Amino acid sequence: MHVTRADREWIEQRARAIGFDLSGIASVAEPASASAIEDDRRYAQWIVAGRAGEMDYLKRIDEAGDYLRGDLHRAMPWARSVIVCAVNYNADAPLSIEPADPKAGWIARYAWSGREDLSAGSDYHDVLLLRLRGLEAEVMQRFGDGCATRCYVDTGPLVEKGYAARAGIGWIGKNTCVLNQQQGSWLLLGVIVTSLELAPDAWSVPAADRCGSCTRCIDACPTDALIEPERGGVRAMDATRCIAYLTIEKKGSIAEGLRPLIGRQVFGCDICQDVCPWNRSAPVAASSMLPARSELINPALDWLAAMDGPAFNRVFRGSPLERTRRKRVLRNVAIAMGNSGERGYLPQLEAWAAGEDVVLAEAAAWAVARLSSSAISDGPAGCR
């Protein structure tokens, strides 16, 4: 099907009209092309090095034993273009690295979102997917039913950030986030994979890399999860050391050596974005798509600890924290309490240490020992 530049511009305009702050279109490289082969090699190398941790969905393979996310054609041979949409989720609120009450935990900025009436949580996956499907319907109506499409928000067999960079949304920074010169890195991505040839190479304008010699994100990461590339190398993250992975994806116990470095983070981590110079002037989200719930900003650790199952479900219904579930969040709260220096948490921690949840009991016992010691030292910036 012949697609004109005007068709492409129409798609990008409709994406913004629907509520996305940024949009762009990238072509899907042919499997035999040098860029596709190199991307596939890098992805396989990252997985084989063990940097995906327990995230088995990233390791899915096809019948030939190749990683599905390494080459989009393995899952969707018909894919020709990827429409990339981004929404700014920044809130007018403190950063995690700013001074805070030592009894406060930290929930990642993206997980503060609630429904427009703030009556309950709101998962960005659902919010963005609803709008993506609206755009998909308009694309189908304009180009006909013969156009194949699939919508994804973090769930598809592709590396969204790579397509975002090719579509001109931004460049992949040293913190491995997509960075936009105007919007910063507070961006959530959604994609529509389509069989339409929407992005000939002559139309594609990848964003220029503007990280320069800055290494603030690498220097600030408490767990050294960000891998500084050699000259011309690829920026990467060792997810098994990333606080976001440890507090959200990691099941069971967290390695004892990493616990002091987690600081007060109970769900996710924003440190590498908080220190980024490009986020100093990042605008507050203009859309009401993902309004922030004030009670989740610097939440009191004892408030989180006191929630029983029904209370947790009520507060976090529809929220990203609902998927992580209460047991894992309490494990993180116990570690944050241990890092707080606040001995007033000892009764709660001792009760958990005597409980039946083995993982929580072990984390709580560690926290009791840490608080009972006089050798608690200040952690890295943003961790206390």
For the chain, domain boundaries: 5-89+121-203
**d(Cα 256, Cα 243) in Å, to the nearest integer?**
13
| Helices assigned H by DSSP within the chain | 5-18, 34-48, 72-75, 124-143, 160-166, 216-220, 243-244, 259-262, 271-274, 301-305, 309-316, 320-324, 326-340, 346-353, 358-372
**d(Cα 283, Cα 198) in Å, to the nearest integer?**
30
- Pick the catalytic residue from 7, 39, 71, 154: 154
Higher pLDDT, 374 or 294: 294
Extract the tokens encoding 258.
């990493």
Q: Is the pLDDT of residue 343 over 80?
A: yes
Residue 23: C-alpha distances to residues 132, 184, 194, 261, 291 (Å): 11, 15, 15, 36, 21
pLDDT tens column, 308-323: 999 999 999 999 999 9
270 a catalytic residue: no
pLDDT tens column, 288-308: 889 999 999 999 999 999 999
Q: Is the pLDDT of residue 8 over 90?
A: no
Residue 100: closest CA among 270, 352, 292: 270
pLDDT tens column, 118-146: 777 889 999 999 999 999 999 999 988 77
